[in-house]
Amino acid sequence: MTKKKNELFEWIKALTIAVLLAAIIRYFFFAPIVVDGFSMMPTLHTQDRMIVNKFSYKIGEPKRFDIVVFHATSDRDYIKRVIGLPGDTVEYENDTLIINGKEYPEPYLEEYKNQLIDGPLTEPFNLESIIGQTTVPEGHIFVMGDNRRQSKDSRHIGTVPIEEVMGKTSLVYWPISDIRFAE
C-alpha cells in the first residue's frame, strides 16, 4: 500500500512541476496568438496561429520592420509591423516609405502594390498630421499593418508605448500546410 501511495505522490509531483513550468514559460517567454483579421495580409492570414516571443524585448528593443504583438485595448491585442522607432520621422509620399529623410523599400508590400489599379496602397501622410509631432516620441513605436487600406494602426490609434508591446512574432505554426517564418 505504501508503494502505491509513493507512486501516486510522484505522479502528482511530476504533473504539478510540468504545469508550473508550462505556466512560467507561457507567462514569461512564449505564448500562442491567433491572427484575427486581414490587416497583415499578404504576410499573415486571418486564423494563422503564431508564437509570440515575450522574452525578446526584455533583453533588447524593437527593430524596424519587426512584427510585434501589443495591447491595443484592455481586451484586444494587435499584430502590426514596426515602422518608426523613437526619434524617427516617418512619412509616406508616392507610395514610398520615408524615414528620417531616407527611402526604405518594403518588399513585403510588392504583391499588393502590383495588384493595385486605383491609387496608392498607402495614402500620403507625415507624423505631424497624425500625432501632432514631427518624430516618434521616446518610449513609443509607430506601427502599420501590411494591408495598408484595411489596417487600424498608428495612423488611427497613434504611437504605441513600448511597455504595451508583448513581444515579437514571426513563426506561423498553424495551419500545418503553411508553417513558415513571416518577415
Which domains occur in the chain, in start order?
31-181 (2.10.109.10)
Predicted pLDDT of residue 27: 65
Which of these is catalytic: 56, 80, 151, 154?
80
> What is the mean pLDDT of the segment spanning 74-94?
91
pTM above 0.85, yes or no: no
Per-residue pLDDT at 28 exceeds 80: no
Is 177 known to be catalytic? no
- The pLDDT value recorded for residue 180 is 77
Per-residue model confidence as pLDDT tens digits over 33-70: 878 888 888 888 888 888 888 777 777 889 999 999 99
Evaluate if residue 122 carries a pLDDT over 90: no
Q: How far are the Cα atoms of 95, 97, 150 from residue 123, in angstroms, in the given order?
A: 7, 11, 12
Choosing from 39, 56, 151, 154, the catalytic residue is 39
Number of Cα atoms under 13 Å in the Cβ half of residue 62? 31
Evaluate the omega torsion of the peptide bond into residue 86 and state whether it is cis, within 30 degrees of 0: no
Average pLDDT of the segment spanning 115-134: 85
Q: Do the Cβ atoms of 167 and 57 come closer than 8 Å?
A: yes
pLDDT winner (highest mean) among 57-71, 77-91, 167-181: 77-91
The answer to whether 39 is a known catalytic residue is yes
Q: What percent of the chain clears pLDDT 70, i.e. is strictly above it? A: 93
